[in-house]
Amino acid sequence: MKSKILLLIPALLLGCQTMNFRDPVKPGSEIGRDSGLLDAYVLGAMKKYAVEKTSFALIARNEIVYERGYNVSEGELLQVASISKVLTAYAALQLVEQGRLELDRALDGYLRESYFPDGSDGRKITLRMVLTHTCGMGNDIRGKDRKIYHEPGKSFHYSGAGYTFLMRVMEQLVGMPFDEYMEGRVMKPLGMQRSRFSIDYPSGFRSISAASSLRSTAGELALFFRELMMPRFLRSDLAKAMLSDAVRIDEHYSWGLGIGIQHAEGSTAIWHWGNNADVYHSLALCFLEEGTGIVILTKGKKGILLYQDLAHYALGGSYFGLGDTVIRKTR
C-alpha cells in the first residue's frame, strides 16, 4: 500500500541550517582508516558544540570497524530516543513472520479490550499504518492522547502515539512486558547484550516506551543496523519491504516500514534520528549499496549539530535533511 502525501511541513530543529552536502560517499576502505584523526575530530566537535558525551561507531563493508565512547563511563548507556522505533518495527515484522501479526489487519482487533472509544477511526489502524506514520495519531508517547487527527492510511504525520498503541498489542501477543521481550527475544540474539529498553529516573519512575526508551551504545546499536543491511533473523522479503519505499515524502525522502529512506545522487540510505528532552540526540545512517554506516549517540543540547558534522566527515555523501526534519507534530 502506498499512501498519498497530503501535507508536509518541515520543522527546523535548534535553529540550524539545512546542510546540503554533495560529496560522494566514501569507499569502505577509507572509512575509519585513521582512528587518530577521527578521535581528534570528535573531540574538537564536542568542544565546538559543547556536547557532554558521545558514543560513536562506524560500519564499513558491513562490518563494524570503529567504536568508541567519549566521556562515557564504563557500562554507561545513552538514550537512543526515537531510533527506538526502528527496533520496535523490526520486532513487529518478526511477529509477522511468525504469523502472529498481519501488516494489513486492524491492530485493535488483537486486543481483548479496544484501545479506542466506540466509533473511533483508530479501530481501522493497521500495523503498516503505524510503521509508515500514516495512522493519523499524534506524537504523544504516554498513551493518554488516543485521538485520531487525520484519516488513517491517507497521509504522513510522524506519530509516537501509534507506536505506543503497537506496544500494547505486542505485549498482549507475546504475554510479557515489552522491555523484557525486546531485550531477551530481539536484541540479545543480535549481540546487544548490555542494551536496555527502559529508562530509570532518580525519582524511581521507569519509562518503557516502544517509541523512545531504548538505551544503548553506538557499537551495540550498530550491530542492529548491520542486521538491517544483512538480515539473519528476519525473512528476506520482510527485510526488503522494511527498507523499501512505502510512503513518498518529497524529492529526496521516503518512509519504509519503520525507517526513513533517502535517495541522493545514486545512493540510497536508510536513516533515523532521535531527540529526548533536547538533551539526548542520536543519528543512525547507512548507505545500502556501499554497506557503510554510522551511529552517533550524544548527550548535549547541540548534539544534532555534532552528528551532522561527524556524519559528513566520516562517511561523505549527500544529506538533504539532517538539518531539517520531516516530522510534523500534530499536537
User: CB–CB of 307/285 below 8 Å?
Assistant: no
Looking at the chain, the whole-number percentage of residues with pLDDT higher than 90 is: 80
Distant-in-sequence, close-in-space partners of 173: CB < 8 Å, separation ≥ 6 = 95, 100, 101, 110
**Mean pLDDT across the stretch 196-215?**
96
Residue 197 three-state SS: coil
176, pLDDT greater than 90: yes
Query: Taking 70 as the threshold, does the pLDDT of residue 306 lie above it?
Result: yes
Amino acid identity for residue 149 in this structure: Y
The whole-number pLDDT of residue 280 equals: 98
Residue that is written with C-alpha cell 505506543 in the block: 164
Mean pLDDT of 193-198: 98
More confident residue, 256 or 5: 256
Q: Is the pLDDT of residue 239 over 60?
A: yes
Predicted confidence (pLDDT) at residue 7 exceeds the cutoff of 50 = no
Which CB contacts under 8 angstroms, 24+ apart, belong to 220-223? 220/191, 220/192, 220/193, 220/194, 220/195, 221/57, 221/80, 221/83, 221/192, 221/195, 221/284, 221/295, 221/297, 222/57, 222/58, 222/59, 222/64, 222/67, 222/293, 222/295, 223/64, 223/190, 223/191, 223/192
Q: What are phi and psi of 216, to 5 degrees?
A: -160, -175
**Which is it for the CA torsion 148, 153, 157, 162, positive or negative?**
positive
Do residues 174 and 99 make contact, with C-beta atoms less than 8 angstroms apart? no
Burial zone of 123 (CB within 10 Å; 0-12 exposed, 13-18 middle, 19+ buried): middle
pLDDT of 214 > 80? The answer is yes
What is the structure's pLDDT at 292? 95
So what's the pLDDT on residue 14?
30
CA dihedral 164, 168, 174, 175 (to 10 degrees): 140
Note the pLDDT of residue 322.
59
Compute the average pLDDT of residues 3-23.
40
> How many whole angstroms separate alpha carbon 292 and alpha carbon 268?
11
pLDDT, one tens digit per residue, over 113-167 is: 999 999 999 999 999 999 999 999 999 999 999 999 999 999 999 999 999 999 9
User: What is residue 201's three-state secondary structure?
Assistant: coil
Phi and psi at 151, nearest 5°, equal -60, 125
Query: Of 222, 238, 234, 240, which Cα lies nearest the Cα of 292?
Result: 222
Q: What is the mean pLDDT of the chain?
A: 90
∠ CA 61-312-214 to the nearest 5 degrees? Answer: 75
Say which residue, 52 or 2, is predicted with more confidence. Answer: 52
Q: pLDDT at position 317, please?
A: 82
Q: Phi and psi dihedrals of 314, rounded to 5?
A: -80, -35
On the question of pLDDT at 19 being above 70, the answer is no
Of 22-36, 59-73, 298-312, the poorest mean pLDDT is in 22-36
pLDDT at 320: 63
As beta bridge partners, residue 216 has 78
Contact 27, 290 (CB under 8 A): yes
Q: 251-298: per-residue pLDDT in tens?
A: 888 999 999 999 876 788 999 999 999 999 999 999 999 999 999 999
Q: Tell which CATH classification among 3.30.1390.20, 3.40.710.10, 3.40.50.2300, 3.40.50.720 matches the domain 11-325.
A: 3.40.710.10
* Beta strands per DSSP E along the chain: 11-12, 53-60, 63-70, 78-79, 199-200, 206-207, 215-216, 247-248, 253-255, 260-264, 267-276, 280-287, 292-299, 324-325
Residue 210 has pLDDT above 70, yes or no: yes
Q: What is the tens place of the pLDDT at every residue in 46-83?
A: 999 999 999 999 999 999 999 999 999 999 999 999 99
Q: How many Cβ atoms are within 10 Å of 57's Cβ, its own excluded?
A: 26
Q: Where exactly are the structural domains of the chain?
A: 11-325
Q: How confident is the model at residue 22 (pLDDT cuts 50, 70, 90)?
A: low
